[in-house]
Chain A
Amino acid sequence: MKKYTYTEKKDTRSGFGAGLHEAGKKNENVVALCADLVGSLKMDAFIKDFPERFTQVGIAEANMIGIAAGMTINGKIPFTGTFANFSTGRVYDQIRQSVAYSNKNVKICASHAGLTLGEDGATHQILEDIGLMKMLPGMVVINPCDYNQTKAATMAIAEYEGPVYLRFGRPVIPVFTDPDQKFEIGKAWMVNEGTDVTIIATGHMVWKAIEAGEQLAELGIDAEIINIHTIKPLDDEAILKSVKKTGCVVTCEEHNKFGGLGESVARLLTTELPTPQEFVATNDTFGESGTPDQLMSKYGLDAVNIVEAVKKVIGRKKA
């Protein structure tokens, strides 16, 4: 197992804030909008340097999406910012009609996704947003795994033409990817090569997959770990290549198993290469209040759960 270490922990939303600032410096058409959550979205640096390119819309997310769609018509590249729930479910039809169907170059940037939002509880903890967004034709869906990758992804989507959903989170987590990485939309990242099982992880679950990989190595199981940061378009080739070698797969995401990354992988595999698969994901449930760590453990999203799923799926492979 390749060794991954980290010297600091940071929140992915700060990676977004830093990436937005960089994208703003590079391209004067980059504009930002926020619905009364500037601090939570870490937009301060952008606002400080480009106050005239920032729009505070107030607590009015539907209006924000519509305004963003309109701004694209004269060449602006709008980045909207609010919590993941209010970025998706709250404004689904506004996104569907004015952004996706109209093919507008809006970047929907969503913080506090998943259970790790913590104490605010289920009203704010969306576990359905990947599903909602990936079902929209033409929508790119990205869920980066640490500060550096989120920063790189934010800069990359500014250069991509078309609607994008960028999902990130609240808690501080290890920073373990290359600070100078080039982010390629739709290209999987090989975290660790292995032969016994393919672990496919996205977002906060990538570090957990690395922890699981280390535990598995001690048990003599050689896990291949792939980071799928772009859930749509999915890197079919990387997944098929790996699964051909390992013969079984575990998908890991901080999201409902209905509609998430796991189902995208299952769809690919049932048509191309039927393979035993286990899902590490929430099981059709709402979340609740608690600390991020407590919730990840209660809802089965820890390294131990990945290890268990790997043992199970390897068993199914042999059967």
Chain B
Amino acid sequence: MKHTIKELEDIASQIRRDIVRMVHGCQSGHPGASLGCADFFTALYFEVLNHKTDFTMEGVGEDLFFLSNGHISPVWYSTLAHAGYFDKSELATFRKLDSRLQGHPTTHEHLPGIRIASGSLGQGLSVAIGAALAKKLNGDQSHIFALLGDGELQEGQNWEAAMFAPFNKVDHLIASVDYNGQQIDGPTSKVLALDDLQAKFEAFGWHVINTDGNDMQAIVEGLHYAKTLTGKGKPILNLMSTQMGAGVDYMVGSHKWHGTAPNDEQLASALAQLPETLGDY
């Protein structure tokens, strides 16, 4: 391990502070699942991913990450800043005019760390598969990681990709699902239930693992374990249970915080729960 679990938890706490401050600062954006995925992003970028912070689009010899549910950009931007891709002061520009930190991630403004635009849901798994195929053709043994929302899985393109990857033995791919059970109009179980996702992906030929996405130890171990499963003919799906709003008590578990910004009072309450560990931007 490069860091202790405590160190990683501290990083995640800072990222959570950044998320609520960024969303508060522009009074828009998506705090709920950003908070829920803070532990995953910390584990990925500070422990699991083999990556360089002097960013190149190609990332030859590096592991690549693709965010399909682009609306959780705050957690990604904060993670990239603390990992060293760009200065954390730039987080203050989130969603503001002339910023590289667009509402949804984009290559258009050339923010280091981003390799494809996302925001319109359901497209990221296909892109990750494409990147994995290209690496394979180049003889590059690196891993491709992707994150998808659970509601996002209602988009049919995911299932085209889900069918393609095992059939074509795309086996350096580790896709995680942010399984928080919530989407905009309510709990996923009420909008359009996903039911037994594990059985569905297994039926398509994926190797499915389950992790607790809000337990740092579990998520680090889970992602390391996922890496050991690659190269064996099957893509890996990490069904990662998380809580929307994790870390901020009044946001936990509610779809109402999918895309709502906290007011001043709510911000203060959130920050009181999240220790500043690396210094605010």
Of the listed stretches B11-19, B149-157, B173-181, B202-210, chain A binds B149-157
How far is B185's CA from A57's CA once the two chains are assembled, in angstroms?
11
Known: A58-B191, A60-B155, A288-B99. 11 other contacts (CB 8 A): A36-B184, A59-B152, A59-B183, A118-B28, A122-B102, A122-B108, A124-B103, A286-B108, A289-B102, A289-B103, A294-B97
Count B-side interface residues using an 8 Å CB cutoff. Answer: 32
Judge if B242 is at the interface, Cβ distance under 8 Å.
no
Residues of B within 8 A of A39 (CB): 184-185
CB distance from B60 to the nearest CB of A (A): 27
Residues of B whose CB lies within 8 Å of any CB of A are 26, 28-29, 70, 95-99, 101-104, 106, 108-109, 117-122, 151-152, 154-156, 183-185, 191-192
Q: Is B97 within 8 A of A121, CB to CB?
A: no
Q: Is the CB of B154 within 8 A of A58?
A: yes
Indicate whether A282 reaches chain B with its CB closer than 8 angstroms. no
Report the bound CA distance from A220 to B191 in whole Å.
58
CA distance A286 to B29 in the complex (A): 20
| A–B complex contacts, Cβ < 8 Å, 19 sampled | A36-B184, A37-B185, A38-B185, A56-B185, A57-B192, A62-B156, A63-B156, A85-B120, A120-B104, A121-B104, A122-B102, A123-B102, A123-B104, A124-B119, A288-B102, A289-B97, A289-B99, A294-B97, A298-B97
A145 contacts partner chain B, Cβ-Cβ < 8 Å: no
Question: Given A120-B103, A123-B104: A291 and B97 within 8 A (CB)?
Answer: yes
Q: Nearest Cβ in chain B — how far from A318, in angstroms?
A: 38
A-B Cβ contacts below 8 A, count: 96
Give every chain A residue within 8 A of B99 (Cβ-Cβ).
Answer: 288-289
CB of A121 within 8 A of CB of B103, answer yes
Inter-chain contact B120/A124, CB cutoff 8 Å: yes
Given contacts A57-B192, A58-B154, contact A122 B95 (CB under 8 A): no
Cα-based distance from A289 to B25 in the complex (angstroms): 14
Whole-angstrom distance from the CB of B269 to the nearest CB of chain A?
A: 23
Nearest CB of A to B237, in Å: 19
- Whether A58 pairs with B151 at a CB distance below 8 angstroms is yes
Q: Tell me the smallest distance from the CB of A311 to a CB of chain B, in Å.
A: 27
A175-196 contacts to B, CB under 8 A, are none
Residue of B nearest to A117 (CB): B103
Closest to A62 in B: B156
A60 touches B103 (CB 8 A): no
Q: Which residue of A lies closest to B122 (CB)?
A: A59
Q: How far is the CA of A294 from the CA of B28 in the complex (A)?
A: 15
Q: How far is the CB of A240 from chain B (nearest CB, A)?
A: 39
- Closest 6 pairs between A and B when the two form their complex, measured CB to CB: A123-B119, A58-B192, A121-B103, A290-B97, A58-B154, A119-B28
A291 CA to B103 CA in the complex, in Å?
11
Contact status A119-B120, CB under 8 Å: no
Q: How far is the CA of A290 from the CA of B26 in the complex (A)?
A: 9
Q: Report A97 CB to chain B, min CB distance, Å.
A: 16
Q: How many whole Å from B97's CB to the nearest CB in chain A?
A: 4
| Most chain A C-beta atoms within 10 Å of own C-beta, residue among B99, B152, B191 | B191
B118 partner, pick from A38, A63, A123, beta carbons under 8 A:
A123
Give A98-150 interface residues, CB cut-off 8 Å to B: 118-124
Instruction: Select from chain B the residue with minimum beta-carbon distance to A83.
Output: B120
Q: Is A252 an interface residue (CB 8 A)?
A: no
**Which residue on A lies nearest to B119, using beta carbons?**
A123
CA of A123 to CA of B107, assembled, Å: 11
With both chains docked as a complex, state the minimum distance between the C-beta of B155 and any C-beta of chain A, in angstroms. Answer: 6
> Which of chain A's residues have a CB closer than 8 A to the CB of B108?
122, 286, 288
- Nearest CB to that of B153 among chain A residues? A59
Whether the pair A56, B96 counts as a contact (CB closer than 8 A) is no
- Among B103, B120, B183, B185, which residue has its beta carbon within 8 angstroms of that of A86? B120
Closest A residue to B73 by beta carbon equals A121
Do B120 and A90 touch (CB < 8 A)? Answer: yes
In the complex where A39-B185, A85-B120, A123-B106 touch, is A289 in contact with B96 (Cβ < 8 A)? Answer: yes
**Which chain A residues border B154 with CB–CB below 8 Å?**
36, 58-60
Considering the complex, give the chain A residue whose CB is closest to the CB of B104: A123
